[in-house]
């Protein structure tokens, strides 16, 4: 009888250790959430808010590196398009989602 208890780990004390990996896993997920996922979601919400506020006259920087003034907006097949004036008599059309930064508001 004594040998059986010794070989199985002593009964109840072997079961208490099974919570430790679960708690560690939950703590690791919480750290990843607060250090990686949540800040990324916050940046994404701020970027979406900035894109929604882009209007005619704003000076913007595109993800491709073009800097220009917004002179018009339109929608083509459900895609929001901004018309940018990048030089005299030079206009380009850029998807609203490719605006990286607003440099100046309503210039």
Q: Give the pLDDT of residue 96.
A: 93
- Structure tokens of 11? 């009964």
C-alpha to C-alpha distances, 20 to 6, 8, 15, 17, 80, nearest whole angstrom: 22, 19, 10, 6, 51
pLDDT, mean over the chain:
86
- Kindly state whether residues 84 and 66 are assigned to the same domain: yes
What's the CATH code of the domain at 82?
Answer: 2.40.10.170
Q: Find all residues with CB under 8 Å of 58, minimum gap 6, and list them.
A: 69, 70, 102, 103, 104, 105, 106, 107
Structural domain of 49: 1-53
Does the pLDDT value for residue 6 go beyond 60?
no
- Kindly state whether residues 1 and 49 are assigned to the same domain: yes
**pLDDT tens, position by position, 39-66:** 999 999 999 999 999 999 999 999 999 9
């Amino acid at each position: 009888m004594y040998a059986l208890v010794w070989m199985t780990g002593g009964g109840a004390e072997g079961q208490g250790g099974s919570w430790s990996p679960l708690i560690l896993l939950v703590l690791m997920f919480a750290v990843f959430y607060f250090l990686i996922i949540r800040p990324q979601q916050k940046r994404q919400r701020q970027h979406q808010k900035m894109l929604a506020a882009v209007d005619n006259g704003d000076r913007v920087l595109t993800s491709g590196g073009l800097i220009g003034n917004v002179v018009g907006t339109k929608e083509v097949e459900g895609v929001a398009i901004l018309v940018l004036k990048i030089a005299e008599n030079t206009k380009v059309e850029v998807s609203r989602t490719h605006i990286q930064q607003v440099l100046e508001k309503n210039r």
